Structure 1
Amino acid sequence: MTPPPGWYPDPHPPHHERWWDGAAWTEHRRAPGAPTVAVSPPPGGGTGRGRTVALVATVAVLVAAIVTGAVVLGTGDDEAGPRTAPAVSGPTAPGPSEPARESSSPPATGDPFAVEDQLNGITFPLLDGWVRPEHVAEDDVVMTTDGTYDCPGDGGVCRHGLVVSRTVTANEETSPEALAKGDIADAAEDAFDHDALDREPYGGMESHETVASGPVAVAGRAGYYVRWRVHTAKGPGGYVQSLVFPSSVGTESPVLVRYVFDAGDDGPPLADMDRITKGIRPVGDAGSGGVGSSIGPSG
């Protein structure tokens, strides 16, 4: 699920944009909104999609961009800059034995009550109690609940809720129902069983039951969701949901949205899953977005 080549916010410094060639950061930078210039892979270099993609621009545009100071090039290989792929963000905050990592927040839409998933061409409503992600360790998180707490299991820091948005690229299956049903077990294990450091923040996942599933219209597209109630060895357990629908941009690859909610009193209202789903819009759509109301029960 590596992002395609393009200009993305540069986490170092964040007020510039930096060229991602599909496999690695390059040393090309520019000011946001600057004229697009040609960025070609190095001779014999480049991997993945970065080898096959280059932007076309005229020499005149390049010269004009340089004269106006709109294009900022890298200063050399000795610069302390990020080498990881551009990401929307990631889920739980790092624990005591996990080094903290600063993640870039998803680009703002200009609306303080919405957050944008630029790669999938959608926006999510930012409900009360939810914030843009900061200091999260997993890629593709678009929002989290505000604040953290000590996990009840093997240490570390947990959050009461998070929402992850990804593009399904490693699977030839395109049916939203099949993809949602195939993802829910992985979503539950990732959220409540073992974390990336092979710890058990909730003492391990003990059992689950399906509490809701069915077709749903999302951003004017026909999707499908599956929701599980998960019971853990420690703590109140929680809810996890896999939602899949076709993207409205590009090749219309399926979009996978995972919801992870604590089930305790401090967890977000379960109805927030439905509210967030209903509020998903195509980027640039100020209207209803064609979102249907066929959302399943709240558990």
Structure 2
Amino acid sequence: MTDSLSGISLPVPEGWYGEELQVGAALTSKESYDCPGDASKTCVKGGAYSAPAVVLGTRGGTAEEVAKADIAANAEESYGGEAYGRITSHDVLASKAVTVAGQKGYLVRWRAVTQEGSDGFVQSLAFPSPSRPDQIVVVRFGVDTDQRQTVLDEITEGIEVAEGGRGSGQDV
């Protein structure tokens, strides 16, 4: 799935689908269920989406600063609120430097413990855009804990520079 704004493509795991957004791209698990905190809403087993940090309102000058600043908002968006009740606690599973699409990035992964229903693995991944190095891209992940945690690694490791994602757009 291509995020042309950020100049990257994300792999679509088996059992998921993807769509390009106005400011990014989204991956969503095909498996859904009634949200435990509000059965009138539908929750999915997992999702991920990319967007520039500035669009998300996440501050920081480096990939590490952005990933660390974004994780709490990501956890709240993915597993807080009416869908699962509040997040009662979290465990930090990873906080490390990674290379994504040839860029030096950083990821923070939590296990978010919810008040109702499934707990979740949440991950904030930040790295400079391959097509706009001054712009930091954030990929937010949220996956129910009954799913394979390795899907987070599979997506992270599969992010590539989008075809035609480099250059000024002037060469024809």
Which bin holds the TM-score, normalised by the shorter protein? 0.7 to 0.9
Greater Cα radius of gyration, structure 1 or 2: 1
* 1:215 to 1:251, Cα distance in 2 relative to 1, 3 A: closer
In structure 1, what is the equivalent of residue 45 of structure 2?
160
The amino acid of 1:152's aligned partner reads P
Residues 229-244 of structure 1: matches in 2 within 5 Å? 229-244=111-126
How far is the alpha carbon of 1:236 from its aligned partner? 2.4
Structure-2-length-normalised TM-score = 0.86
Judging by fraction of residues, say which structure has more helix.
2
In structure 2, what is the equivalent of residue 201 of structure 1?
83
Moved over 6 A (4+): none
Bigger mean CA offset, 156-165 vs 247-256? 247-256
Q: Which has the higher contact order (CA 8 A, sep 6+)?
A: 2
Residues 1-299 of structure 1: matches in 2 within 5 Å? 115-133=1-19, 140-155=24-39, 156-169=41-54, 170=57, 173-194=60-81, 200-250=82-132, 252-264=134-146, 267=147, 269-284=148-163
The amino acid of 1:233's aligned partner reads Q
Could you tell me whether the CA contact under 8 Å between 1:228 and 1:241 is conserved in 2? Answer: yes
Structure-1-length-normalised TM-score = 0.51
Q: Which runs of 5+ in 1 are unaligned?
A: 1-114, 195-199, 286-299
Q: Which runs of 5+ in 2 are unaligned?
A: 165-172
Could you tell me whether the CA contact under 8 Å between 1:229 and 1:238 is conserved in 2? Answer: yes
Q: Percent identity?
A: 39
Q: Distance in 2 between matches of 1:120 and 1:168?
A: 11
How far is the alpha carbon of 1:246 from its aligned partner? 0.3
What SS does structure 2 have at the residue aligned with 1:223?
strand
Judging by fraction of residues, say which structure has more strand.
2
Could you tell me whether the CA contact under 8 Å between 1:141 and 1:162 is conserved in 2? Answer: no
